[in-house]
Amino acid sequence: KQEVTQIPAALSVPEGENLVLNCSFTDSAIYNLQWFRQDPGKGLTSLLLIQSSQREQTSGRLNASLDKSSGRSTLYIAASQPGDSATYLCAVPVAAGNKLTFGGGTRVLVKP
């Protein structure tokens, strides 16, 4: 059974600092890995999707890496802003279109 873990559970940084969020999974047979953002009381916003054949994916200040063999992904957010404050979730499906297994999330607070 796939298990996804995110460390740390919470993170507080001053504005401008880079953020590093970690995600680990127990079964390396993943199809892809997604990072989501969730604001309090809201649904999920997809940030990045990394295919299993890729090692990283970038979008603006966001960069996500994937190391399938070691079961890890890292989300980097450069030059953090207060608007980046949210919970970040990683999730993996077993196959295309399959159900997602989510990590517990990392709650980020960027202080002005």
Partner 1 sequence: GAVVSQHPSWVICKSGTSVKIECRSLDFQATTMFWYRQFPKQSLMLMATSNEGSKATYEQGVEKDKFLINHASLTLSTLTVTSAHPEDSSFYICSPLRASDTDTQYFGPGTRLTVL
**By CB under 8 A, is residue 103 in contact with partner 1?**
yes
Which one among 58, 99, 109, 111 touches partner 1, defined by CB under 8 A?
99
**Other beta carbons within 10 Å of 77:** 23
| Distance in angstroms (rounded) separating the CA atoms of residues 110 and 11 | 8
- The Cα 93–Cα 110 span in angstroms is 30
If binding is defined by CB under 8 A, does position 24 make contact with partner 1? no
- Applying CB under 8 A, does 96 fall inside the site for partner 1? yes
The three-class DSSP label of residue 81 is coil
Site string for partner 1, 29-68 (x = CB under 8 A): --xx-x-x----xxxx-x--x-x-----------------
Q: Which amino acid is at 7?
A: I
97 binds partner 1 (CB under 8 A): yes
Q: Which stretch binds partner 1 (CB under 8 A): 12-20, 67-75, 77-85, 102-110?
A: 102-110
